[in-house]
């Protein structure tokens, strides 16, 4: 049934979302507002989006002429589905002064997942599967995350809830004067290109900080064995158990295999948690709940996930003593109980 019919049957009720793993004092709205605070009033970044149907949307060409409403979402996200009628209604009633674009976060979603979701729910607005560029440009921290850009090209609002604040921001964006306003620094705000490190590449010279405050140098000249970087989410096993049970099971298998090998002599381990819907406290609670013994770091900005082209959890990178990535293991590779051990010990 189309959203317009659904909306005709009953008045829309705004739903306060349930998040994957958020404390009472760290709501989705607070996370989104915190991420958006440095963006408010700035000129919106200019880059080209490509929809899952092959169309291109040049955001830079929209600024100065139309207001723009971007919504980051995911197919596994319960509040995203709850808010979808509101989102579709905004799209269906938008006039020529408002562009509405759905940006799938690209986290644990494939283009097939998105197309199936679109067909099931009858979504009609343009949909983009993010490669990390849009999430980086707009400080993605939660799903859904709403970005409202005025007709003058300035970012007016960043939030999480489909409520009166969002609707007021959309009205203000459409009322903004036509004509592009120069952003801070006087030039267009274009996100920097993402440098990717893949199998065969050497790790960058970085030292992420663990949640205990200790640096973990990617390149350790004193390393005598392999380094394993485990990309994870602290809510994968629990939250996705109902919405994506296969992924939840993969996260559990990865954690169990890592626990069995964590004390292997000479092997260095670092768990890198996605900053999507996660705080340092969430990661500490995850460590306590599952008795995780390896060092853990929170990739709050998502920079490490983007650098290593990780868009699903669990994912592990096996690195040799020279700092070169020699193997990549993703959830689908963890069918055998000894999959991780084999990867670490293989030449």
Q: What is the pLDDT of residues 64-117, one digit of tens each?
A: 999 999 999 999 999 999 999 999 999 999 999 999 999 999 999 999 999 999
CB atoms within 10 A of CB 340: 23
pLDDT value of position 191:
76
Pick from 129, 163, 186: which residue ends a domain?
Answer: 186
- Specify the number of domains making up the chain: 2
Q: Are 130 and 251 within one domain? A: no
Q: Is residue 269 in a domain?
A: yes
Query: For residue 3, is pLDDT > 80?
Result: no
pLDDT at residue number 183: 58
The reported pTM is 0.90
Are residue 7 and residue 152 in the same domain, yes or no? yes
Are 158 and 307 in the same domain?
Answer: no
* 248 and 179 in a common domain: no
Instruction: Output the domain CATH number for residue 339.
Output: 3.40.30.10
Q: Is residue 30 part of a domain?
A: yes
Tell me, yes or no, whether 258 and 135 share the same domain: no
Do residues 30 and 160 both lie within one domain?
A: yes
Do 131 and 13 lie in one domain? The reply is yes
- Write the CB contacts of 49 (distance below 8 Å, at least 6 apart in sequence): 56, 57, 58, 59, 101, 103, 128, 134
| Pair (63, 128) in one structural domain | yes
Q: Are residues 112 and 235 in the same domain?
A: no
Strands (E), the chain: 48-50, 56-58, 67-73, 98-104, 127-129, 145-149, 155-159, 227-232, 268-274, 296-299, 315-319, 325-330
Same domain, 245 and 131: no
Residue 188 has pLDDT above 80, yes or no: no
Q: What integer is the mean pLDDT of 167-189?
A: 80
Domain span at 19: 3-186
């Amino acid at each position: 049934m189309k959203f317009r019919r659904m909306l005709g049957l009953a008045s829309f009720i705004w739903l306060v979302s349930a998040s994957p793993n958020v404390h009472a004092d760290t709501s989705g709205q607070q996370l989104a507002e915190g991420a958006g605070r440095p963006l408010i009033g700035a000129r919106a970044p200019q880059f080209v989006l490509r929809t899952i149907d092959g169309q291109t949307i040049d955001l830079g060409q929209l600024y100065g002429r139309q207001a723009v409403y971007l919504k980051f979402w995911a197919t596994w996200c319960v509040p995203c589905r709850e808010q979808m009628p509101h989102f579709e209604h905004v799209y269906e009633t938008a006039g020529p002064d408002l562009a509405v674009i759905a940006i799938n976060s690209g986290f644990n979603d494939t283009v097939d997942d998105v197309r199936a979701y679109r067909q099931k729910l009858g979504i009609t607005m343009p949909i983009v599967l993010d490669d990390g560029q849009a999430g980086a440009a707009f400080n993605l921290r939660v799903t859904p995350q709403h970005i409202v850009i005025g007709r003058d090209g300035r970012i007016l609002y960043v939030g999480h809830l489909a409520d009166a604040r969002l609707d007021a921001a959309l009205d203000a964006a459409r009322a903004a004067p036509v004509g592009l306003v120069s952003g801070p620094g006087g030039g267009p705000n274009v996100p920097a290109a993402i440098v990717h490190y893949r199998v065969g590449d050497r790790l960058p010279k970085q030292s992420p900080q663990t949640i205990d405050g200790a640096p973990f140098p990617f390149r350790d000249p004193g390393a005598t064995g392999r380094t394993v970087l485990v990309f994870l989410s602290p809510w994968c096993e629990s939250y996705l158990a109902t919405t994506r049970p296969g992924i939840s099971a993969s996260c559990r298998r990865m954690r169990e295999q890592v626990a069995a090998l964590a004390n292997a002599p000479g092997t260095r381990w670092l768990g890198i948690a996605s900053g999507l819907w996660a705080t340092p406290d969430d990661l500490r609670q995850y460590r306590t709940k599952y008795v995780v013994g390896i060092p853990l770091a929170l990739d709050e900005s998502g920079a490490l996930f983007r650098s290593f082209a990780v868009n699903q959890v669990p994912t592990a990178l096996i690195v040799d003593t020279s700092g070169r990535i020699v193997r990549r293991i993703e959830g689908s590779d963890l069918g055998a109980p000894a999959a991780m051990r084999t990867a670490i010990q293989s030449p």
